[in-house]
């Protein structure tokens, strides 16, 4: 089993590529890998539980992290995001690298 740390900086309403990136995360997890998806910049817009159409809710096997700084910049409170998405600092990226995870900025 490999450990993948994926970084998404766009939201699904900005680019159709984002939904395909979600699918990459899901496929890697289904293949037996440990997968983390770190959302930063406008990617955190998709974490809002008020979002009607959202592929994030299909990523049951993927660990979902939302960058705290990006959430604050956009006025999104932790209480407003989907259950199951953790708020994390940018240190999560550094820790994953230090632990030799496979890093991909999608």
Partner 1 sequence: MSNKTLSFLMMDGPFEQARTTTSFRIIAAAIARGYNVNVFAYEGAVSLSFAKQTPHANSIHGHSSEEENHPLTKDWIAALMKEAEAKGGKLDWINCGLCVDERGVTEAIAGCRRGAPKDFWQWATESDATLVIGTK
Angstrom distances, CA of residue 6 to CA of 45, 79, 80, 102, 106: 17, 24, 23, 8, 7
Per-residue contact string for residues 50-79; x = within reach of partner 1 by CB under 8 A: -------------------x----------
Residues that contact partner 1, how many (by CB under 8 A): 20
> Roughly how many angstroms between the first and final C-alpha of the chain, as a whole number?
20
CB of 60 to partner 1, least distance (A): 26
Binding site for partner 1 (CB under 8 A): 7, 9-10, 15, 40-42, 69, 89-91, 93-94, 96-98, 100-101, 103, 105
């Amino acid at each position: 089993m490999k450990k993948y740390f994926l970084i998404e900086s766009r939201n699904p309403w900005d680019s159709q590529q984002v939904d395909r990136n979600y699918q990459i995360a899901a496929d890697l997890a289904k293949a037996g890998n440990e997968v983390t998806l770190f959302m930063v910049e406008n990617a955190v817009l998709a974490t809002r539980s008020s979002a009607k159409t959202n592929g994030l809710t299909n990523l049951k096997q993927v660990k979902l992290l939302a960058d705290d700084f990006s959430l604050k910049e956009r006025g999104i409170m932790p209480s407003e995001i989907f259950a199951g998405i953790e708020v994390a600092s940018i240190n999560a990226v550094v820790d994953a690298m230090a632990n030799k995870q496979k890093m991909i900025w999608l």
